Amino acid sequence: MELMTPALWHLLPPLDSQREASFPLVYCHYFLPDTQWDWYVLEFDGNDVFYGWVSHMSQEFATFYLSELRILRGLRGRPVTRDKHFTPLPLWHVQQHYGGLPLGPTISISPILQTTSPHARITALQPMDTMPRF
């Protein structure tokens, strides 16, 4: 399955476009089979850089790359997969229902480390108007 289709490419908003949004939307979901890695895309630079919410052992906002998703493999060698049944949802809904966090619609997560890696830890909850940018 293609990770990026022409239709999805046109659908994804540019980086920083949802910065001021009270209820930012998640447009796409990628996951790594045989693991608990999930990437929820909020924005895309149109080339390689995504910004979104990453869920694994912890949850965080992070920058991640299409080129990296294409080469990652799960425990049994399976590649990252796009959830073809995913439809755009408000971020708070994804955080509550898919990430296991009991968060409301105006809460986001602030990581300890400002990094492009999905390995940073979360430290505090803060309002969406101060959503971290990397």
Query: pLDDT digits over 62-114, tens only?
Result: 999 999 999 999 989 999 999 999 999 999 999 988 765 544 343 343 333 23
pLDDT of residue 100: 53
Q: Which residue, among 54, 62, 82, 65, has the nearest Cα to 133 in the 3D structure?
A: 62
Look up residue 4 and give its two tokens.
């990026």
Q: How far is CA 1 from the centre of its chain?
A: 19
pLDDT of residue 99: 60
pLDDT of residue 91: 95
Domain ranges of the chain: 6-15+24-130
Look up residue 10 and give its two tokens.
């046109």
Binned at pLDDT 50, 70 and 90, residue 134 comes out as: very low
pLDDT of residue 19: 87
Look up residue 53 and give its two tokens.
């919410």
| Pair 31, 37: CB distance under 8 Å | yes
11-34 confidence digits (pLDDT tens): 999 999 998 899 999 999 999 998
Phi, psi of 54 (to 5 degrees): -110, 135
* C-alpha to C-alpha distance for 39 and 45, rounded to whole angstroms: 16
Helices (H), the chain: 6-11, 66-71, 91-97
Q: How far is CA 79 from CA 27, 37, 66, 72, 120, in A?
A: 20, 12, 12, 6, 22
